[in-house]
Amino acid sequence: MQKIVLASSSKYRRELLKKLQIDFIYDSSHIDESPQANESASALAIRLAIEKAAAVAEKYPNHLIIGSDQVATFGNILLGKPGNREKAFQQLQAQSGQKVSFFTGICVLNSASGHTFTDLDICKVHFRNLSDSQIQRYLTIEQAFDCAGSFMSEGYGITLFSKIEGEDPNALIGLPLIKLIKLLDQCGLAIP
Active site residues: 69
Three-state DSSP class for residue 159 = helix
C-alpha dihedral sign at 52, 56, 61, 66: negative
Element (H or E) spanning 88, and its range? helix 85-95
Torsion of CA 32, 33, 39, 41, to 10 degrees: 170
Q: How far apart are CA 4 and CA 72, in angstroms?
A: 27
Three-state DSSP class for residue 163 = strand
